Amino acid sequence: MKWNSIRTKLIVFMLLPTILCIVATMIVSYTHTTQSLRTRAVEENKDLLYQGYRNINSLLEELNRISLSVYSDSDFYRLLESGYDDMSSNIEIYSSLNFISSSMPDIFQVYLYGVKDKKATLFAQNVSRRWQGIAPYVDSNITGTQPLEIQSTHISHNYGLTSPLPQATKDQVISLHRRIERIPSNQALGYLSIDLKLSALTEILEQLYDQNQEDLFLVDHQGNIVYTNQSDVIGNKLQAKWYDNQILKGDQEQGYFEMDKAVFIYQKIIGPGADWTLVKKIPVPYLLREANEAVKINLLLLALSLIIIITAIILISIKITAPIKQLTRYMNQIEAGNLNVNITPAGNDEIGIVTRRFGSMMDTINNLILKEYKLELSNKTNQLRALQAQINPHFLNNTLQIIGTLALELKVPQIYALLSALAKMMHYSMHNNDQTVTLHDELEHVKAYIELQKERFENKFSFSYDVEESLLSVPMPKMILQPIVENYFKHGFRGTSNGAIELKALPLPANRVEICIVNNGTGIPLAKLESLRTELEQANLRDISPTDDTESLRQTPGPRIGLTNVLTRLQLVCGEDASLEIDNLEAGGIMIRLEFDIRSGA
């Protein structure tokens, strides 16, 4: 291959950096993945132990709060302060201890010693027993400055009482010991001990580690094991160099270190009466198991990718160079002025797509040159038709005015009145650009239509309207009321005398208006009425654009003319809350009710 060839340059300059990058990636990935996974595992376990600390601290806080309830129980506190010996006092004491015992589901038993009467009470499993004239239990007898202590895990006992409860069982517990003081002094009124089952801690701690691969230790400030997955050493002194050399000598609340092929992560727990340390031991092989698996997978994928990339670079380089030259020849011909070049794609790849798009672009350019002339001619034709459509109505309107003037000259005012009404209707309908009008405009249009119908039916019907003055300026869509009135003459008017049609407009709360049109014509059959109501409910606003004028609506084919069209246009202008209801009247006739929001400048 020649060096100056595009094909040679593509293969060399794409293949060389690719190989270098892949090899470097394989080397860096092998060393970096291990460290990054180790760091991520440490951070995740720090967060996990911190959450465990929060849960344990909440448990201790809850236990502490329960022990403080003796101060809020005034009767209990008074009995400890003054002494008690009667049956009612004993019942009160038992009741308070029962409340403490039932405050948490994992409380095993409660011990109370009253200094005044030297009485000891043990409450366990809903059974209590009292002893008198004995000394307080040594672990409960807190003499330090702090009135609260947490005793590490131990087997439950009877607090030195000689006659234990017969049904009492043994269990691993941690104990909270509180000195009940005479406020505000430090004088002891009694001693309260609450035994909490170790299972309360176990439920929290078992969620913090993998019991099959990892070890977890909860150690108090004296080095006693509060909890570990090795149940046989719970309660004993922790004998481990990593604890003595790293944790006892450190002052950080959280940290980690590596020793004896294991990573240790620890979290200090400072709670009420407790100074504990939570330690998680993770063997290094287990910690890096994902890293080793990831490295093997990455090496396999990188090797496979290298083979595919090398093959793809060679094929693409060969594939690209051939059609590029052909495309260059097409461009040279077009540049010379030949716009009708027959452009044939060389394939279906990216270059083939570019070639086809280039051919399409040239076809588009040629078509646009021709279409520009056709578009200009079409625009002129449309302008002429629009001008003719505008001239014809004006010509008819002017002609009607000439005939009306002639009627006045011939002293036929009735003909002039009819022509004036017809001219008003034509003038009203010619303003197609007006999407909205006022209620006054609509009413005037209806009155002009009524004048024509009165002449047609020889005044065999009456028309009345009742509209408040404040509603005449309400905006509404054009040609809403006249089609409703027209339906009366098309379908309901019998042609006999005593016909009547009435229009009322009333204001409603919430800035709404109601328009009722009532007639005494023929009622609508029930089946047809239900069909019409269903059609009104299913009226779809998307069928008509808000920019449609009245004339275009009339010329649109399909079920648009009539009440459905009225409701749709009313919703377009006045909002979707607009409604149209139609009902037969019991006395005969039909009532059509419109209701819509009053929108300024609708």
592 with 582: CB under 8 angstroms?
yes
* Separation between Cα atoms, residue 122 and residue 368, nearest integer Å: 102
* Separation between Cα atoms, residue 388 and residue 147, nearest integer Å: 105
Count the Cβ atoms, other than its own, within 10 Å of residue 292: 13
Q: Give this prediction's pTM.
A: 0.48
- Of the given ranges (127-141, 395-409, 557-571), which has the lowest mean pLDDT? 395-409
More confidently predicted of 395 and 316: 316
Q: What is the pLDDT of residue 397?
A: 58
pLDDT confidence tier of residue 557, bands split at 50, 70 and 90: very low
Task: Please compute the mean of the pLDDT values over residues 562-569 and round it to a whole number.
Answer: 84
Residue with tokens 């595919």: 308
Q: Which CATH number fits domain 68-197: 3.30.70.100, 3.30.450.20, 3.40.50.620, 3.40.50.1100?
A: 3.30.450.20
pLDDT tens per residue, range 48-57: 999 999 999 9
| Mean pLDDT score of the chain | 80
pLDDT tens per residue, range 112-166: 998 888 888 888 877 777 787 788 999 898 888 889 999 999 998 888 877 656 6
pLDDT tens per residue, range 326-371: 777 777 877 777 767 777 776 776 677 777 787 788 778 777 766 5
Closest CA relative to residue 67, chosen from 130, 12, 129, 110: 110
Q: Which fold has domain 461-597?
A: Heat Shock Protein 90 (3.30.565)
- Of the given ranges (96-100, 138-142, 215-219, 549-553), which has the lowest mean pLDDT? 549-553
Long-range contacts of 26-34 (CB under 8 A, 24+ apart): 26/298, 26/299, 26/302, 29/295, 29/298, 29/299, 29/302, 30/295, 30/298, 30/299, 33/291, 33/294, 33/295, 33/298, 34/288, 34/291, 34/292, 34/295
Q: What is the pLDDT of residue 336?
A: 78
Between the CA atoms of 469, 474, 479 and 480, what dihedral angle is there, to the nearest 10 degrees?
-90
pLDDT tens per residue, range 459-482: 889 999 999 999 999 998 888 898
More confidently predicted of 522 and 355: 522
Which residues lie below 8 Å from residue 427, measured CB to CB, with a gap of 6+? 397
484 with 563: CB under 8 angstroms?
yes
Q: What is the pLDDT of residue 432?
A: 52
* Separation between Cα atoms, residue 113 and residue 91, nearest integer Å: 15
The domain segmentation of the chain, as residue ranges, is 68-197, 343-430, 461-597
pLDDT confidence tier of residue 29, bands split at 50, 70 and 90: confident
- Of the given ranges (92-106, 258-272, 537-551), which has the lowest mean pLDDT? 537-551
436-438 and 461-467 beta bridge pairing: unpaired
pLDDT confidence tier of residue 454, bands split at 50, 70 and 90: confident
Largest CA distance in the chain: 137
* Separation between Cα atoms, residue 168 and residue 109, nearest integer Å: 10
- Of the given ranges (109-113, 308-312, 411-415, 586-590), which has the lowest mean pLDDT? 411-415
Task: Please compute the mean of the pLDDT values over residues 258-287 and round it to a whole number.
Answer: 89
Percent of the chain with pLDDT over 70: 82
Task: Please compute the mean of the pLDDT values over residues 261-283 and round it to a whole number.
Answer: 90
Beta bridge partners, 179, equal 191
Q: Is the pLDDT of residue 43 over 70?
A: yes
Render 557-570 in DSSP notation, one character per residue: -STTSSHHHHHHHH
* Separation between Cα atoms, residue 596 and residue 567, nearest integer Å: 10
Q: Does residue 341 sit in helix, strand or coil?
A: coil
Long-range contacts of 408-414 (CB under 8 A, 24+ apart): 414/455
* Separation between Cα atoms, residue 602 and residue 587, nearest integer Å: 37
Percent of the chain with pLDDT over 90: 26
Task: Please compute the mean of the pLDDT values over residues 512-541 and round it to a whole number.
Answer: 88
Q: What is the pLDDT of residue 552?
A: 40
Task: Please compute the mean of the pLDDT values over residues 84-92 and round it to a whole number.
Answer: 78
pLDDT confidence tier of residue 550, bands split at 50, 70 and 90: very low
More confidently predicted of 99 and 344: 99
Q: Is the pLDDT of residue 551 over 50?
A: no
Count the Cβ atoms, other than its own, within 10 Å of residue 422: 18
Q: Does residue 11 sit in helix, strand or coil?
A: helix
59 with 105: CB under 8 angstroms?
no
* Separation between Cα atoms, residue 164 and residue 160, nearest integer Å: 9
Q: Is the pLDDT of residue 561 over 50?
A: no
Q: Does residue 180 sit in helix, strand or coil?
A: strand
Q: Does residue 113 sit in helix, strand or coil?
A: strand
- Of the given ranges (32-41, 394-403, 444-453, 512-521), which has the lowest mean pLDDT? 394-403
Structure token digits, residue 322:
């051939």
